[in-house]
Structure 1
Amino acid sequence: MRNATLKSSLYLLVGISAAAWFSLAYFGGLDLSKIKDFLGLIPKVVSIDLLVVAWFVKWGWKLKVFRGWLVPFPNLNGSWVGSIYSDWKNPQTGEKPPPIPVMLTVNQSFFHISCVMRTSEMESSSYAEGFLIDPDRQIKNLAYSYTSKPRLSLNERSMPHDGTAAFKIIENPRKKLIGRYWTERLTKGEISLRYYSEEMLEDLPDDLDDHPVTENENRR
């Protein structure tokens, strides 16, 4: 897949360069059979190529027309909400918590992606990310490693830790991320998310339920 998209990128860039060369020559009344005229257009053609590449990297890659043959991965930018199903046991009760409301924000460009996951008790930030895309094998995954930082007031039962999350990307009929995670605390679980907004939200939306562990502790 990577080789295919690389070839497509090279062919497209060569095509754009050729079109720019002939267009500039035509409107400038130049003769490309003459070395002087041909080489004299190199700076202008390179400038056009750079502008096209800059546009594509900034905005163009998000267009559906480029998906598959030129851009192998989906656009995940925005906010996702859902639930964490953890096997962590509360040291005070010895019980697993009910599903934990969670929000994931994804900041993605053509060359980079970063993920921040938030609950009302913690925030985790990715530091190593990557896609695994193989249409022939029907594989479309996102995985990242992260550092989780719970609120300082929760240090007695929830210490900072690292972990890894892996998601299956679902685009039809609705955008979802279904995955699992595991941590150096030897906890693991599942995560189910649905696409919520194009906005990069910085706090949990009001329609998301409270954290079940915090809620139970506040009732005591």
Structure 2
Amino acid sequence: MVRPTALVRFVVLACTGVYTGLLFLSGAELSTFASRLLASLPFISGATVLLWDAWLWKIFGLQQLTHRPSIRGLWRVTLTPTAESQIPPGGNRGPIDAYFVIRQTFWSLSVRSLTKESTSDSQAFFWNLRKNTDVSTLTYIFENTPKMSQSNRSPRSLGTCLLDPTSLSPTEMVGSYFTDRYTKGDITAELVDRSRSHASFDAADRHWARNVGEPTA
């Protein structure tokens, strides 16, 4: 699902800025600091909301209040299907190497999962703060699209994934998944870095090899 975050930010900032500018140019009496401040409030409020969405929520102290972990970036992932998973003959029974490419603001999030055989994209998500915890867990619905070379054996599918960050700025996550193809399994993920411009598994793997270790066999 495409979330036009940048467009929404631009529209909010442009509308509030134009409103404030027209108010100053309209000839309205704005002779005192208080009146000028009141006239600027729409623009200040809009800018504050945008700064919160993009950056302010990650500041130490504010993040502790929201319990929202910062998980944006590239993650190296291992998927381990259970023995009960209905994997067709010739399919990968795991462990399966993958990468997560995560884009995140306070109110938006997208997770792209890259494997050698398919790509998955998140469609909807929500955060959940469980009792006696300080960090929210992430649950999202995803759509998996196999490569054309795998489409006869592996049809398009929908699934749900749960990710449990270890802290507000985690370098590791664990989780689980299941799909409507009757597959399920466990997830472990390690943060590579905060980069997000990776279009394929091979591209992400090359980036990891250059910066961290050896490419996946």
Task: Tell me, yes or no, whether TM beats 0.5.
Answer: yes
User: d(CA) in 2 for partners of 1:174 and 1:110?
Assistant: 16
Q: Note the alpha carbon deviations across 1:5-52, whole angstroms, 9 max, x for none.
A: xxxxxxxxxxxxxxxxxxxxxxx995xxxxxx7556411344333333
Q: Note the alpha carbon deviations across 1:137-169, whole angstroms, 9 max, x for none.
A: 456311100110011111232111101011111
User: d(CA) in 2 for partners of 1:90 and 1:46?
Assistant: 55
Taking structure 2 as the reference length, the TM-score comes to 0.70
Instruction: Indicate which of 192, 198, 202 corresponds to 2:199.
Output: 202
Rate the CA distance shift 1:72–1:157 in 2: closer, same or farther, 3 A: same
Contact 1:86-1:96 at 8 Å conserved across structures: no
- What's the counterpart of residue 171 of structure 2? 175
- What's the counterpart of residue 68 of structure 2? 73
Larger radius of gyration: 1
- What's the counterpart of residue 125 of structure 1? 121
Rate the CA distance shift 1:41–1:100 in 2: closer, same or farther, 3 A: closer
Shift of 1:175: 1.7
Q: Which runs of 5+ in 1 are unaligned?
A: 1-27, 31-36, 211-220
User: d(CA) in 1 for partners of 2:182 and 2:40?
Assistant: 58
Contact 2:63-2:168 at 8 Å conserved across structures: no
The amino acid that maps onto 1:78 is: G
SS in 2 for 1:199: coil
User: d(CA) in 2 for partners of 1:55 and 1:168?
Assistant: 26
1:139-154 to 2 correspondence within 5 Å? Answer: 140-154=136-150
- What's the counterpart of residue 164 of structure 1? 160
Identity of aligned residues (%): 21
Over the aligned positions, Cα root-mean-square deviation in angstroms equals: 2.7
The amino acid that maps onto 2:150 is: L
Rate the CA distance shift 1:89–1:54 in 2: closer, same or farther, 3 A: closer
Contact 2:172-2:188 at 8 Å conserved across structures: yes
SS in 1 for 2:68: coil
Rate the CA distance shift 1:135–1:76 in 2: closer, same or farther, 3 A: farther
- What's the counterpart of residue 151 of structure 2? 155
